[in-house]
Amino acid sequence: MIPITLGVLALVDGLFAGFRAATGRNARIRKDAYNRRAAWRGLGVGAAGAAAVGLLVAIGIAVAADPGQRYDELVSAGGRMLLVLLPFAAVVVLSLISYLLLPMRESTFVMVLALGPFTLVRPAVAAVAGIVAAVGSTDRLVWLVAAVATASVLMVEPAVHRRWYSEPV
Amino acid sequence: MAVLEISDLVVSWDPATRQRLPVVKADVVARLRAAADARAARIVERIPTDGPNLDDAAVDRLLVRAHTELQRLGEELHMAQRFAEMLVPVLAAARDGGVHPLRVVDIGCGLGYVVRALASSGVLGPDVELIGVDFNPALVGEAQRLAVEERLPCRFVCGDAFALDEDATLYLSNGVLHHFPADALGTFFRAQDRPATAAFVHYDIAATRLAPLGAWIYHRARMREPLGRHDGVASARRAHGDDVLLAAAAQASGMETFLFEPTRHANPFCAAMRPVIGIRPALTARFRAELGRRAKGLVGPR
């Protein structure tokens, strides 16, 4: 369950990162298709990052003296990561739903007070999650996976932005 | 110490001919350093030059990029909806008062987000002509290109909004007021007190204590252009207080003037943008009636 939850979180985060990477680069009024495309691009890059992490995990387990123990160690680190990520993700999703559903002024309140600051602290939250996952283990593979997973999540937005949205449409 | 916005300094126009004037980079940098704004000076130092002057094409590209990002702020703060909330009742009152034609002019429209969004939604009705006006031809050109691309029923003009062939029924602006020094605001509002004009609606940043902090967080999270990040915070620091705006707007003596949901009546976060409104006294009753319960948010000069 923990690996699946982490994978889903990474993919959903990739969708949003793709959306953010494209914002501020298209001044058209009607741009739903543009935003959808950007989100898919983010998902694609996020999926590539998640696949790289999965490959690293698979290799690490394959070469381990005790694959079962290493797998348990990795799952345990993933659990610690979720302790940080899930509450943050829950609050972000709640804020997003509120922004979309609330009347104009209240949704502005949510944007200014929640969604803006959340975007700002997101890299720090991801970094803390990586650190919390790593420090609970002495296995260097866990450290490496935590570092690569954190980096792969954080690089989606800049990568998508640089590749497709460095200049206004 | 004066708070300066980079975007005000990197372009210059002849006040008489409105021709673009060369801007000497060293002068801009010196001005920003004199204002103790080393960060802004560094941003300007990175702009390409043509001899000693800032390169016009590079400045235009930079401003288009910054304004494109800035549109996101307008979208997220629902600025088009906020304008529609005020404009629909004003225009209904104007129609009732026999005002014709109905022409809305956006002063300092930039990329014309508000005009284009209102045109796209059609919320003001098919009998309303929408025009955006700005001194900067690069921004006006981009606004017109975007409008044509999306086939929006609006147009954009480069020049002085008060020197168009025909006056506006309603003048609006979004985030323009803080660009005027307080002692120049009266002239701006008096210029709108002209026979054919029924009303004005000007949104700007509410000058709350939290506004600069909120602007810093928001621009840090949402903007990539250093110029946009800098000027966003500077705008919040330069914003005029409620009393200053009301006193200045009252100089349009043929209008009744109000703030809508001013700072002291609203949560400081929600009042991030609030409008100053002027309307002909003959139309005020109908305007209030159209607003319904929201009319309680109208606050006149004390």
Residue B246 has pLDDT above 90, yes or no: yes
The pLDDT score that the predictor gives to residue B264 is 59
Strands B20-21 and B12-13: antiparallel
A119/B222 touch (CB, cutoff 8 Å), yes or no: yes
Which sign does the torsion angle of CA A128, A133, A139, A140 carry? negative
Strands B102-107 and B170-174: parallel
How far apart CA A147 and CA A126 sit, in angstroms, is 10
Q: Which of A40-44, A53-57, B67-71, B210-214 has the lowest mean pLDDT?
A: B210-214
Amino acid, res. A42: G
Query: Could you tell me what percent of chain A has a pLDDT over 90?
Result: 86
The pLDDT score that the predictor gives to residue B267 is 61
How far apart CA A98 and CA B217 sit, in angstroms, is 20
Mean pLDDT of B61-70: 96
In the block, residue with structure tokens 């906020």: B82
Residue B270 has its nearest CB partner, among A27, A108, A116, at A108
The pLDDT score that the predictor gives to residue B1 is 78
Give me chain B's average pLDDT, please. 93
How far apart CA B278 and CA B287 sit, in angstroms, is 11
The pLDDT score that the predictor gives to residue B19 is 86
In a domain, A169, yes or no: no
In a domain, A145, yes or no: yes
**Domain count within chain A:** 1
Q: Which CATH architecture has domain B68-299?
A: 3-Layer(aba) Sandwich (3.40)
Residue B273 distance to chain A (closest CA, Å): 10
pLDDT tens-digit series, residues B86-95: 999 999 999 9
Mean pLDDT of B171-193: 97
- Structure ipTM: 0.88
Q: Which residues pair with B274 in a beta bridge?
A: B204
The string of DSSP letters for B245-270 reads HHHHHTTSTTSEEEEES-GGGS-TTG
Nearest to B216 by CA among B21, B39, B32: B39
B223 → chain A, closest CA residue? A24
Residue B265 has pLDDT above 70, yes or no: no
pLDDT band, residue A54 (cuts 50/70/90): very high
Say if A116 is an interface residue toward chain B (CB within 8 Å): yes
In a domain, A112, yes or no: yes
3-class state of residue B193 by DSSP: coil
Q: Which residues of B touch A24 (CB under 8 A)?
A: 68-69, 71-72, 222-224
Residue B270 has pLDDT above 60, yes or no: no
Q: Which residue has the higher pLDDT, B100 or B121?
A: B121
Class of residue B291 by CB neighbours under 10 A (exposed 0-12, middle 13-18, buried 19+): buried
Nearest to B17 by CA among B159, B156, B132, B140: B159
Domain that holds residue A77: 2-164
Mean pLDDT of B134-159: 96
The pLDDT score that the predictor gives to residue B269 is 58
Window 86-125 of B, Cβ < 8 Å to A: 111, 113, 116-117, 120
- Domain ranges in chain B are 6-64, 68-299
Is residue B161 within 8 Å of B133, Cβ to Cβ? yes
Contacts of B62 (CB under 8 A, 6+ apart): B10, B47, B225, B227
Contacts of A138 (CB under 8 A, 6+ apart): none
Is residue B119 within 8 Å of B93, Cβ to Cβ? no
The string of DSSP letters for B142-187 reads HHHHHHHHTT-S-EEEES-GGGSSS--SEEEEES-GGGS-HHHHHH
Residue A4 has pLDDT above 70, yes or no: yes
> What dihedral angle (degrees, nearest 10) is formed by the CA atoms of A23, A165, A169, B11?
80
In a domain, A29, yes or no: yes
In a domain, A160, yes or no: yes
